[in-house]
Amino acid sequence: MSRLAAIFGCAGPRLGADEAAFFRDARPWGFILFKRNVETPDQVRALVEALRETVGAPAPVLIDQEGGRVQRLGPPHWPRYPPGRAYGELPANDPLIRREVVRLGARLMAHDLAELGVNVDCAPVLDVPGPGAHDVIGDRAYAADAEAVAVLGRAAAEGLIAGGVLPVIKHMPGHGRAQADSHQRLPVVAAAMEALEATDFAPFRVNSDMPMGMTAHVVYTALDPERPATCSPAVIRRVIRGAIGFDGLLMTDDLSMKALSGGFEARAQAALAAGCDVALHCNGSMAEMKAVAAGARPLAGAAARRAKAALGRLAKAREPFDVTAARARFAAAFEGRWAA
């Protein structure tokens, strides 16, 4: 039986009967967790198992665990992790030291997630902040130059994969120049194509082999003056699949963000018609999820191939890892530079 080209959230820390019935009927490809779904390790494990049971087949369970401001798991049960920028600002004579610390941090986060059954992290952020940009990206970015973002982003992705967790590179083809928060309104970027290619697209090109990616709800006037990347065939075909060369599973950013307009059925239809493989809806609203499900379609064709290939990147066995020693090394790298 086919799966729906959608990823859904749920309302609370335990799966409600109405949610379970809806998921059994809709059969989404995956699920996503937020802070509202998290209490204790045992509770999260039980929720993850309950979500997967509703579709009766392997299903990816996602979370946003970047560190810094965007961290769904935190104290007292899980460590705090620094924001991306803290890695980029580590003093080091050799840039490879920063790269190794990034990989170590991601490997530790993968350990935390894998222990819960969560196998996809919506990270790393590969956006390159531009002058005057809104701070919605801000210190989530590893650096202000594309080369450093590309290198450190790959290190994070590799650390996650080694720990049995798939990375999601975001926000394609680049949210760094946006002067508005797409959670609240639609950003418009007027930079020329040459500037976008040189800076914004560059980290995604370097990481184009990664299994999963997420779109940006941003209009790029040089590419499509009317539609945000999520809903733009021009951006997805010409840039994400073309200039960047990404052939992994492409999911939307959250369809409930205010950057998008129209009903939820129409949002899902537009995103999938533009070339996204999977529609992501996060807030757990049953009415909205039902509308997204109505606008989505069965996962088939190239989208199904990419979904299968993405899950095929999950390691059969996690990289051997001494978590206690790793936490000590990680803490030492940031001693006096970042307060947990």
Domain extent listing, the chain: 4-333
Q: Active-site residue 183, yes or no?
A: yes
Burial of residue 23 (number of CB atoms within 10 Å: 0-12, 13-18, 19+): buried
What's the pLDDT at 337? Answer: 77
What's the pLDDT at 1? Answer: 75
What's the pLDDT at 57? Answer: 77
Task: List CB contacts of 305: < 8 A, sequence separation 6 or more.
Answer: none
Does residue 339 surpass a pLDDT of 70? no
**233 or 96, greater pLDDT:** 233
What's the pLDDT at 340? Answer: 58
Q: How far apart are CA 52 and CA 111, in angstroms?
A: 20
Does residue 336 surpass a pLDDT of 90? no
SS3 of residue 33 by DSSP: strand
- Per mean pLDDT, which range of 70-79, 88-97, 233-242, 315-324 is the poorest? 88-97
SS3 of residue 201 by DSSP: coil
Candidates 112, 253, 254, 277; catalytic one: 253
Does residue 29 surpass a pLDDT of 70? yes
Q: Indicate whether this model's pTM tops 0.75.
A: yes
Closest CA to 65 of 127, 114, 134: 114
317-332 mean pLDDT: 95
What's the pLDDT at 94? Answer: 77
pLDDT tens digits, one per residue of 60-84:
999 999 999 999 999 999 999 999 9
Q: Active-site residue 112, yes or no?
A: no
317-338 mean pLDDT: 92
Task: List CB contacts of 40: < 8 A, sequence separation 6 or more.
Answer: 77
Candidates 18, 25, 183, 209; catalytic one: 183
User: What superfamily does domain 4-333 belong to in CATH?
Assistant: Glycoside hydrolase, family 3, N-terminal domain (3.20.20.300)
151-179 mean pLDDT: 97
Q: Work out the pLDDT band at 239, boundaries 50, 70, 90.
A: very high
Percent of the chain with pLDDT over 70: 99
Neighbours of 335 (CB within 10 A): 7
Alpha helices, H only, the chain: 17-26, 41-55, 84-88, 95-114, 146-162, 193-195, 202-206, 233-234, 264-274, 286-295, 301-312, 323-333
Q: Work out the pLDDT band at 131, boundaries 50, 70, 90.
A: confident
